[in-house]
Amino acid sequence: MSIKLEHVNYIYSEGTAYEKHALKDICLEIPHGQFVGIIGHTGSGKSTLIQHFNGLIKATDGVLYYNGENIYADGYKMKELRNQVGLVFQYPEHQLFEVDVMKDVCFGPKNQGLSDEECEVRAREALQLVGLKEKYYDRSPFDLSGGQKRRAAIAGVLAMRPKVLVLDEPTAGLDPKGRDEILDQIAYLHKQSDMTVILVSHSMEDIAKYVDRIIVMNQGQVMYDDIPKRVFSHYKELERVGLAAPQVTYIMHELKEKGLAVSAEATTVEEA
């Protein structure tokens, strides 16, 4: 599923005193299967942007195409799009509510009208993909650790077998170990499937080593959209808008490309 946005604008509360132009003339194309990072400050428009991806909010102006089809055209099957684009919200574990993990993960496919057997097949597949062990399947989701809860919640979206998986700040609130585990798991997911994966973060470090492409949002606009190395080469401009440690990240990438081992701690860098 390729995604294309053409001159997308979004304005909250248009015509009121609270009017906010949250997205300004966004043009971008995401081919099927790409692993994309969307980065930017709080308030830069990331959440607004990704809610366009599954039609949750409709552009005030501009058009969104999936596989070349205008999703705002009359007769477009928005419900099918919602099934194909899985959105994992921030703190997705807040949406866990069933008596056990298996039932929770089955909830989405059940809503799609699948049989109990098929739901369980999909739930098992999804739970394996997120690396949650079988012994947890019949436990209450509330008895899991923070990282496990988040895995269960992500499995709930994967069980619907989306073609595009969008994760909004999947590491928010996790400790460094939990954060690395979730990111490694997401990278593994992308490798194992032909899904497009879109990872939203406000942390350059989080996404730097995983994605094929980085879209930098700033004040509702796309500031950069390129492969990580070229995005990091703008480290001065990135620092100017307050995106942390891009110079270090850039240099780490350069070294990695030259085949030199780099550790995250090796980071005292002179001004170039």
Three-state secondary structure call for residue 242? coil
- Closer Cβ to ligand ADP, 197 or 243, answer by number: 243
Minimum gap (Å) between residue 41 Cβ and ligand ADP: 6
CB of 13 to ligand ADP, least distance (A): 6
Q: Which residue type occupies 33?
A: G
Residue whose CB is less far from ligand ADP, 20 or 110: 20
**Shortest spacing between CB 12 and ligand ADP, in angstroms:** 3
CB of 15 to ligand ADP, least distance (A): 13
Q: Indicate the DSSP class of residue 134.
A: G
What DSSP assignment string belongs to 139-174?
A: S-GGGS-HHHHHHHHHHHHHTT--SEEEEESTTTT-
Binding footprint of ligand ADP on the chain (CB under 6 A): 12-13, 20, 22, 40, 42-48
Identify whether the C-beta of residue 187 lies closer than 8 Å to the C-beta of residue 209.
no
58 vs 79 by CB, closer to ligand ADP: 58
**Pick 48 or 148: Cβ nearer ligand ADP:** 48
Specify the residue, 181 or 206, whose C-beta has the smaller distance to ligand ADP. Answer: 206
The nearer residue to ligand ADP, 20 or 229, going by C-beta atoms, is 20
Tell the smallest beta-carbon distance from residue 217 to ligand ADP (Å).
Answer: 6
Q: In whole angstroms, what is the distance from residue 21 CA to residue 62 CA?
A: 14
Please tell me the distance from the alpha carbon of residue 257 to that of residue 132, in angstroms, as a whole number.
33
What is the nearest approach in angstroms of ligand ADP to the Cβ of residue 154? Answer: 19
* 134/185 Cα distance (integer angstroms): 17
Q: Which residues contact 24 (CB under 8 A, 6 or more apart)?
A: 9, 219, 220, 221
**How many whole angstroms separate alpha carbon 219 and alpha carbon 46?**
10
| Structure-block tokens of residue 104 | 């929770």
Alpha-carbon dihedral of residues 194, 200, 204, 208, nearest 10 degrees? 0
